[in-house]
A and B are shown apart, each in its own frame.
Chain A
Amino acid sequence: DAGVIQSPRHEVTEMGQEVTLRCKPISGHNSLFWYRQTMMRGLELLIYFNNNVPIDDSGMPEDRFSAKMPNASFSTLKIQPSEPRDSAVYFCASSLQGEQYFGPGTRLTVT
Chain B
Amino acid sequence: AQSVTQLDSQVPVFEEAPVELRCNYSSSVSVYLFWYVQYPNQGLQLLLKYLSGSTLVKGINGFEAEFNKSQTSFHLRKPSVHISDTAEYFCAVSDLAGGFKTIFGAGTRLFVKA
Residues of chain A at the chain B interface (Cβ within 8 Å): 4, 31, 33, 42-43, 45, 48, 50, 55-56, 91, 93, 95, 97-105
Contact = CB atoms under 8 A, between A and B. Distances in A.
Contact of A43 (B34, B94, B104): B104
Of the four ranges (under 10, 10 to 19, 20 to 34, 35 or more), the interface on chain B belongs to 20 to 34
B106 interface: yes
Interface stretch (B12-20, B67-75, B78-86, B95-103): B95-103
B28 to A, nearest CB: 16
Nearest to A92: B43
Interface of B: 32, 34, 36, 42-46, 49, 51, 90, 92, 94, 96, 98-104, 106-107
Nearest to B51: A98
B99 A43 contact: no
Contacts of A42: 104, 106-107
